[in-house]
Amino acid sequence: MSRYAMLLAPSANRVYADQASRMSQAELAAFAPVLSSAPEEIGITVIGGVEYLTFTAELSPRDVAHVSNLSSAYALFELVGEDLLRPHTLTPLARYDSDLITIPKYAGKTNEQFTKLVLNLTLLASASAGKMLDGHLTVLDPLCGRGTTLNQALMYGYDALGVEIDGKDVEAYKLFLQTWLKRKRLKHTADLVPMRRQGRRAARRLEVTMAASKDDHKAGAVQKVTVLHADTTQLDGLIRGNVADVLVADLPYGVAHGSYDDAGGISRRPLDLLERAVPEWLPLLRPGGAIGLSWNTKVARRELAEDILIAAGLEIVEHENLSHRVDQGIERDVVVARKRG
């Protein structure tokens, strides 16, 4: 068995950076199902005054390709003796330039590294884990806001499907993505069209088709982004079933995040939304698909969120503690659950 040391990427969010090493240990452990051997002796080691994520494993080239996608991965070394580092080239899934993720700035935006971490945990817990590197998967974010999770799915080469109740957010995402694609001179189409249900206008649908290169476009190797301007608790008839391999969402909380209750007012209670939305979400998820959710534990206890998912027939997937402080009023956690079948 070889010993490895991974240098973790700095984070733009100082509070998140202070906790990234602990969270990276939990994330690395979750990669075990797709690696030749499960990482052992995972921990943090200071080498030359710098913290590294260290672990013992036998990594094949494909294994290295997998761990290259760790949300905080920056550089990977094999430890030779006590003080020598032999570099290994990281090959993360990065179909587009990183500014697809980093350019958008807006109030309430989830940290990009954390978004990637939740997507990784959810994908690795699903029946599609083995397709992470080479499968054409579909990621659903039923509370997509301005598309951070959707953009991360695109970076991985997947299709993206989102639902957002705020029309301004949908229009802002359309404007950003179109502008970005034009600036990168990438072949694409983008249309915002009305949708009808039982003869009545029920939603608007943003449809984007894009390709990473002209050759990909000619070969038909395109990706699709679909965003519905609709209520995530009323999706019947708007999206066909069994369409998504994984579902990832950041539940509304605090001032910048809120959901509409049945009376049309703003609610800060994420579990109220979750209880109403899960029955709408589950038919969209393929058998063996997984759900990954983050939320503020200061306004909703973890066991209550798990109870809602278990009552819906989902199986909770255990992982190391990922609870972490965002700011004075927000303590965020992650729960992952798998659909049976």
Blockwise average pLDDT, block size 10, the chain, 341 residues: 92 67 93 96 92 95 98 95 90 96 81 93 97 94 95 97 94 96 95 80 89 91 95 90 96 56 60 94 97 92 95 95 83 95 78
Angle between helices 112-124 and 14-30 (to 10 degrees): 10
Q: What are 262's two structure tokens?
A: 């049945």
172 phi, psi to nearest 5 deg: -65, -40
Q: Where are the beta strands (DSSP E) in the chain?
A: 2-8, 40-47, 50-57, 73-80, 84-88, 138-141, 159-164, 188-197, 200-210, 223-229, 244-250, 259-260, 266-267, 285-296, 314-317, 324-327, 330-339
**What's the pLDDT score for residue 254?**
47
β-strand pairing of 285-296 with 200-210 = unpaired
**What's the pLDDT score for residue 261?**
54
* C-beta of residue 238 within 8 angstroms of C-beta of residue 195: yes
Between CA 178 and CA 184 the distance in angstroms is 10
**What's the pLDDT score for residue 258?**
46
Number of neighbouring beta carbons within 10 Å of residue 171:
15
Angle between helices 302-311 and 270-281 (to 10 degrees): 20
Q: What is the DSSP letter of 217?
A: H
**What's the pLDDT score for residue 19?**
81
pTM reported for the whole predicted model: 0.93
Q: What are 228's two structure tokens?
A: 């519905």
Residue type, 303: E
With the C-alpha atoms ordered 99, 102, 105, 108, is the resulting torsion angle positive or negative? positive
**What's the pLDDT score for residue 275?**
94
Residue type, 248: V
